[in-house]
């Protein structure tokens, strides 16, 4: 934990001083974030063994964070936005793999129904904000309006302008209410996005991940780039900044993002009494019944 805290002190201020647009520009130059040549990551491939070793350490810290959140009644809200196929679901899965779903809640809202369409736009997201002792992870969030809804024509220009004007005020109110709000944008290159979409087409285990919206996002790469740029221009602030994650290398992305997430929260390890298993009760007069259980066949 101390190692993670040191990273926060030394590196976090630098990230905070650069706005999201600058971070994306840096990715564009080094990793082809907007489809520039050289978009495929050139760093040595991280082995699965090395990744699992580092992930195990981080998952221990995530449990420590979980226990601190419960003990302190803290409220944490994390938004995961980014390009389609950038790996939002993958990073959320790794965060929640060893944590309690009663503390770490994942919100992935479906398309709005007729009633929700008639509501104030942000209304459908407000009930999902964390109460004390909760960490809420949004797999896409209210920023749908600035991204897919804008590009696909589900929201008109006036609605988008109003949203971009109001959302900083809303986020300020959320933060003032005591919520730790963290916003991540996962940026992947044009080349890597194409490769990942092709994997979804070729691998039946991943076919459910491919939607008509994904195909459109592949076709409308620069429309989504423009929408992203406008979103950052309006909502990337010192009070509620965007943190850009290089998502071209999936293993490194998960480790980097979780490490940064942990560094953003001033958690400490909560003391626990040492647990000792009690002895089992005596059998007494209990007799195992001769019951014809319907047993699952052992095929493996």
Report the C-alpha gap between 283 and 291 in whole angstroms. Answer: 19
Q: Provide the residue count of the chain.
A: 300
Q: How high is the pLDDT of residue 213? A: 86
Burial class of 219 by CB neighbour count within 10 A (0 to 12, 13 to 18, 19+): exposed
Q: Are 218 and 193 in contact, with CB atoms under 8 Å apart?
A: yes
> Given a cut of 60, is residue 60 above it in pLDDT?
yes
> Given a cut of 50, is residue 35 above it in pLDDT?
no
Nearest to 39 by CA among 187, 217, 255: 187
Provide the angle, in degrees to the nearest 10, between the axes of the packed helices 88-96 and 250-263.
60
Element spanning 17, H or E: helix 13-17
Report the C-alpha gap between 221 and 189 in whole angstroms. Answer: 10
Print burial letters for 1-37: b (CB count within 10 Å at least 16), e (below 16). eeebeeebeeeeeeeeeebbeebbeebbeebbbbeee
> Given a cut of 80, is residue 19 above it in pLDDT?
no
What is the average per-residue pLDDT within 257-273? 97
More confident residue, 177 or 40: 177
Q: Are strands 104-107 and 179-187 parallel, antiparallel or unpaired?
A: unpaired
> Given a cut of 70, is residue 15 above it in pLDDT?
no
Band of residue 28 on the pLDDT scale cut at 50, 70, 90: low
Report the C-alpha gap between 247 and 85 in whole angstroms. Answer: 9
pLDDT in tens, 66-85: 999 999 999 999 999 999 99
Report the C-alpha gap between 43 and 252 in whole angstroms. Answer: 10
Q: How high is the pLDDT of residue 17? A: 53
Q: What is the DSSP letter of 103?
A: T
Report the C-alpha gap between 257 and 242 in whole angstroms. Answer: 13
Mean pLDDT lowest among 14-28, 114-128, 134-148? 14-28
Six token digits for residue 232: 């950052």
Report the C-alpha gap between 104 and 135 in whole angstroms. Answer: 5
What is the average per-residue pLDDT within 213-234? 95
Q: How high is the pLDDT of residue 18? A: 61
Band of residue 211 on the pLDDT scale cut at 50, 70, 90: confident
DSSP three-state, residue 184: strand
> Given a cut of 90, is residue 279 above it in pLDDT?
yes
Report the C-alpha gap between 42 and 111 in whole angstroms. Answer: 37
What is the average per-residue pLDDT within 208-233? 94
pLDDT in tens, 156-207: 999 999 999 999 999 999 999 999 999 999 999 999 999 999 999 999 999 9
More confident residue, 12 or 172: 172
């Amino acid at each position: 934990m101390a190692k993670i805290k040191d990273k926060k002190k030394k590196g976090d201020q630098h990230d905070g001083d650069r706005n999201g647009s600058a971070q994306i520009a840096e990715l564009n130059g080094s990793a082809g974030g907007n489809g520039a040549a050289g978009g495929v990551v050139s760093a040595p491939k991280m082995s699965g063994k090395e990744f699992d070793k580092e992930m195990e350490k981080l998952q221990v810290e995530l449990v420590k964070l979980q226990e601190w959140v419960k003990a302190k009644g803290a409220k944490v809200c994390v938004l995961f936005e980014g390009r389609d196929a950038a790996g939002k679901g993958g990073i959320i899965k790794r965060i929640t793999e060893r944590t309690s779903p009663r503390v770490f809640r994942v919100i992935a809202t479906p398309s709005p129904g007729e009633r929700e369409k008639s509501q104030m736009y942000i209304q459908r997201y407000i009930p999902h904000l964390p109460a004390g002792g909760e960490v809420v992870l949004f797999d896409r969030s209210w920023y749908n309006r600035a991204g897919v809804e804008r590009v696909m024509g589900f929201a008109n220009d006036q609605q988008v302008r109003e949203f971009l004007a109001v959302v900083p005020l809303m986020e300020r109110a959320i933060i003032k209410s005591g919520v730790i709000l963290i916003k991540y944008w996962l940026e992947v290159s044009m080349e890597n996005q194409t490769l990942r979409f092709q994997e979804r087409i070729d691998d039946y285990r991943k076919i459910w991940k491919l939607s008509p919206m994904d195909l459109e996002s592949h076709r409308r790469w620069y429309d989504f780039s423009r929408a992203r740029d406008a979103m950052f221009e309006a909502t990337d602030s010192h009070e509620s900044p965007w943190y850009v994650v290089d998502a071209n290398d999936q293993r490194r992305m998960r480790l980097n993002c979780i490490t940064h997430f942990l560094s953003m929260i001033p958690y400490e390890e909560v003391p626990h009494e040492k647990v000792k298993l009690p002895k089992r009760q005596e059998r007494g007069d209990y007799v195992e019944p001769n019951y014809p259980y319907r047993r699952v066949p052992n095929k493996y």
